[in-house]
């Protein structure tokens, strides 16, 4: 007969396995201005996920003039990507703050192949994985205009100068776009039309998430 303690142990193990299997980790993918942040704000409530935006974390550090903020600023204000090592370490320490989460919504991370590989390896140490990557598709010219408009009120230096915005797209095309193949290779890449009312785009994203 199974002892009481063995039974309790099995129950705990089952709970543990269920938790890992139900964890939903979504990478929101898309060019600057595609609406990742706006959609993440809605989706985090709807699916009870932790929203991690590397851009927001950098901006918080810049505002508070931390060492990380000072370092990031020199890249961000030019529209360049912050070096991988800095970004990956920052992301890992944010995830570590929420190890009891139902899942994460990664917004603006990963943006390079080394970041995507580091994310997979890091999640694997916790027996977690990326569930899916969903791209918000939109035309470049529409996005440039959107960012210039946002720059009038956001106060973001990187949104106010068309040359810096164009540099961000070059960074995207060169370093981030290869991630489409990376996630397609894992059978995890999805994309939705990112143009439309906020609610419309949310429902397109939800259709994908509900089928995961
Ligand atoms: P975002 O708010 O996502 O558009 O990010 C603003 C800026 O922060 C980017 O243009 C980059 O300079 C920097 N940044 C944000 N996320 C990353 C990342 N994953 N890797 C490198 N740089 C990043």
27-54, pLDDT tens digit by residue?
Answer: 999 999 999 999 999 999 999 999 999 9
Beta-bridged to residue 24, according to DSSP, are 103
> What is the number of the ligand 1 atom nearest to the C-alpha of 58?
8
Sign of CA dihedral 34, 39, 20, 184: negative
Given a cut of 90, is residue 206 above it in pLDDT?
yes
Share of residues in the chain with pLDDT > 90 (%): 87
Question: Residue 155: its pLDDT value, please?
Answer: 87
Nearest CA to ligand 1 atom 8: 55
Query: Whose CA is closest to 24, among 49, 41, 43?
Result: 49
Q: Is 75 in the pocket of ligand 1 (CB under 6 A)?
A: yes
Which of 40, 75, 108 maximizes ligand 1 atoms within 8 Å of its Cβ, making it the mutation to test the pocket?
A: 108
Given a cut of 80, is residue 7 above it in pLDDT?
no
Over the chain, what is the mean pLDDT? 92
pLDDT tens, residue by residue, 53-87: 999 999 999 999 999 999 999 999 999 999 999 99
Q: Is 151 in the pocket of ligand 1 (CB under 6 A)?
A: no
Q: Is 168 in the pocket of ligand 1 (CB under 6 A)?
A: yes
Q: Token pair 């009312």 is at which residue?
A: 197
Question: Residue 18: its pLDDT value, please?
Answer: 46
CA–CA dist 121, 82 (Å, integer): 20
Q: Is 108 in the pocket of ligand 1 (CB under 6 A)?
A: yes
CA–CA dist 23, 105 (Å, integer): 11
Annotated active-site positions, please?
A: 36, 111, 150, 156, 168
| Cα 22 to averaged position of ligand 1 atoms, centre (Å) | 29
């Amino acid at each position: 007969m199974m002892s009481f303690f063995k039974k309790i142990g099995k129950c705990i193990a089952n709970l543990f396995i269920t938790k890992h299997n139900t964890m939903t980790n979504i990478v929101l993918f898309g060019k600057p201005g595609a609406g990742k942040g706006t959609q993440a704000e809605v989706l985090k409530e709807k699916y009870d996920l932790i929203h991690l935006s590397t851009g927001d974390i950098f901006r918080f550090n810049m505002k508070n003039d931390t060492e990380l903020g000072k370092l990031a600023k020199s890249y961000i204000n030019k529209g360049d990507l912050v070096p991988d090592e800095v970004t990956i370490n920052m992301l890992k320490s944010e995830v570590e703050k929420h190890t009891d989460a139902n899942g994460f919504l990664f917004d603006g991370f990963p943006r390079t192949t080394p970041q995507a590989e580091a994310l997979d390896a890091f999640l694997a140490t916790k027996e977690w994985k990326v569930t899916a990557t969903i791209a918000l598709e939109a035309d470049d010219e529409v996005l440039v205009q959107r960012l210039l408009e946002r720059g009038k009120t956001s106060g973001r230096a990187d949104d106010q100068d068309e040359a810096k915005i164009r540099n961000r797209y070059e960074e995207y095309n060169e370093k981030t776009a290869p991630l489409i193949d990376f996630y397609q290779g894992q059978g995890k890449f999805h994309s939705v039309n990112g143009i439309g009312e906020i609610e419309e785009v949310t429902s397109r994203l939800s259709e994908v998430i509900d089928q995961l």
